[in-house]
């Protein structure tokens, strides 16, 4: 475990606390918004604006981090924004204020993502990227187990008392901020000349990025376009007869599997190759979506969500490790931020597409389209060179 440095531990704990706070609110957010007068359409617009904000800002702040040579301030400010947004949503309930608070939360994610992943990359070698990113994903996703579990426990004793939950979520959010102050900026990173960074300047990175980066990101974004929100999986489970508690339970189960396997799978990826593990993850995704298209059995839902957890473990951290191995060290935050930004926008489009297919043709067709499209993406990914053979050690 010597490759899991103090910095990796701190970042992982910060992510765990933040995800605990965010996921504590995830199951009740739509219910809370409806209780204060939001329509389904307004909720959709809110989430769309929030995700677009996060997406565009990831690329911009990733480039800002690379230009400035600093990482830690972006991480600290980003997590602080996410923490303070939690009580803001409970204090004022006017729609405009809710939009502002929710956007602040996603803006914080945009500020920190590129810089945080660049720190993780700097703490690893080419041979340990899978382990480091996998460990971080395990800790981060553990928060997605703890958060909904605490929410279920709280709501069991305090049904429909949603507002207090926002204040409770502020506690792990602030623990994340406090932990982030333990991070130290690496010496020598603060001597870069100041460079103007227009908001959309990160888009120019696409033109100058390595061919290997372009090929990989095209494949990742093509997959993202058919990888809709997990809400559709939960909706299918609900539609098949599971009650609300069981639906949340199966979501917690999925996150638990994700948290338990992300680190071990990262270790395996470093041994057999990031590309192999990533492709295996996509195969599992396709299997799950084929299964979801026809399944109505409770036991099979747990089997499918188990496989879905393995898929997530084999792709989320692995894709970022892969990107960091095929880009210059000086561009790591820009490369990951640019990809994450495009990914956020594609995720929005994917959920819109899935919703349209579901409405027109039903749930079965929604999952079949995603499963079949993923098989095509797998064929494309197989044509990309192994990341170890194109790593630029600049």
> Per the structure block, which two tokens stand in for 176?
């994340």
> What is the C-alpha separation between 374 and 339, in angstroms, rounded?
19
How much is the pLDDT for 25? 85
The pLDDT of residue 253 is above 60: yes
Confidence band (pLDDT; 50, 70, 90) for 329? confident
The pLDDT of residue 390 is above 70: no
Burial category of 276 from C-beta neighbours within 10 Å (exposed 0-12, middle 13-18, buried 19 and up): middle
Mean pLDDT of 280-292: 96
Domain that holds residue 230: 6-180+203-389
CATH code for the domain in which residue 337 is found: 1.20.1250.20
How much is the pLDDT for 389? 42
> Per the structure block, which two tokens stand in for 382?
């197989």
The pLDDT of residue 127 is above 90: no
Q: Name, of 100-104, 121-125, 153-157, 254-258, the range with top average pLDDT.
A: 254-258
- Nearest CA to 318 out of 256, 262, 356 is that of 262
| Residue 198 belongs to some domain of the structure | no
| Residue 196 belongs to some domain of the structure | no
| Residue 187 belongs to some domain of the structure | no
| Residue 189 belongs to some domain of the structure | no
> Whole-number mean pLDDT of the chain?
85
Q: 236 or 231: which carries more pLDDT confidence?
A: 236
Cβ neighbours of residue 333 under 8 Å, at least 6 residues apart?
61, 62, 63, 65, 66, 71, 114, 115, 117, 118
Domain count, the chain: 1
> Model-level pTM?
0.83
| Residue 193 belongs to some domain of the structure | no
% of the chain at pLDDT higher than 70: 91
| Residue 14 belongs to some domain of the structure | yes
| Residue 186 belongs to some domain of the structure | no
> What is the C-alpha separation between 113 and 58, in angstroms, rounded?
6
| Residue 377 belongs to some domain of the structure | yes
């Amino acid at each position: 475990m010597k490759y899991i440095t103090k910095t990796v531990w701190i970042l992982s704990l910060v992510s765990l606390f933040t995800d605990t706070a965010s996921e504590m609110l995830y199951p009740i957010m739509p219910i809370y918004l409806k209780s204060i007068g939001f329509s389904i359409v307004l909720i959709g617009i809110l989430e769309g604006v929030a995700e677009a904000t996060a997406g565009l800002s990831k690329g911009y702040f990733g480039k800002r981090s690379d230009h400035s040579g600093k990482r830690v301030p972006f991480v600290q400010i980003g997590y602080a924004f996410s923490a303070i947004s939690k009580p803001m949503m409970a204090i004022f309930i006017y729609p405009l204020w809710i939009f502002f608070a929710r956007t602040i939360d996603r803006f914080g994610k945009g500020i920190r993502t590129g810089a945080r992943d660049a720190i993780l990359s700097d703490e690893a070698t080419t041979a340990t990227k899978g382990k480091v990113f996998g460990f971080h994903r395990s800790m981060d996703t553990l928060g997605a187990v703890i958060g909904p579990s605490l929410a279920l426990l709280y709501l069991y004793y305090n049904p429909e008392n949603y507002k207090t939950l926002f204040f409770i979520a502020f506690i792990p959010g602030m623990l994340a901020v406090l932990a982030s102050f333990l991070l130290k900026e690496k010496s020598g990173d603060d001597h870069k000349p100041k460079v103007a960074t227009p908001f959309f300047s990160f888009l120019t990175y696409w033109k100058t990025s390595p061919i290997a980066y372009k090929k990989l990101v095209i494949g990742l974004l093509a997959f993202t376009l058919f990888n809709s929100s997990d809400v559709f999986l939960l909706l299918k489970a609900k539609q098949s007869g599971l009650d609300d508690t069981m639906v949340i339970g199966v979501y917690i189960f999925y996150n638990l599997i994700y948290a338990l396997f992300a680190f071990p799978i990262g270790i395996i990826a470093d041994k057999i190759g990031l590309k192999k593990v990533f492709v295996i993850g996509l195969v599992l995704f396709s299997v799950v979506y084929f299964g979801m298209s026809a399944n109505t059995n409770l036991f099979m839902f747990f089997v499918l969500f188990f496989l879905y957890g393995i898929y997530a473990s084999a792709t989320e951290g692995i894709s970022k490790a892969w990107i960091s191995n095929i880009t210059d060290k000086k561009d790591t935050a820009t490369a990951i931020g640019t990809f994450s930004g495009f990914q956020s926008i594609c995720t929005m489009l994917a959920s819109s597409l899935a919703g349209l297919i579901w409405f027109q043709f039903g749930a079965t067709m929604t999952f079949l389209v995603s499963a079949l499209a993923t098989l095509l993406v797998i064929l494309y990914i197989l044509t990309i060179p192994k990341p170890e053979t194109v790593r630029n050690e600049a």
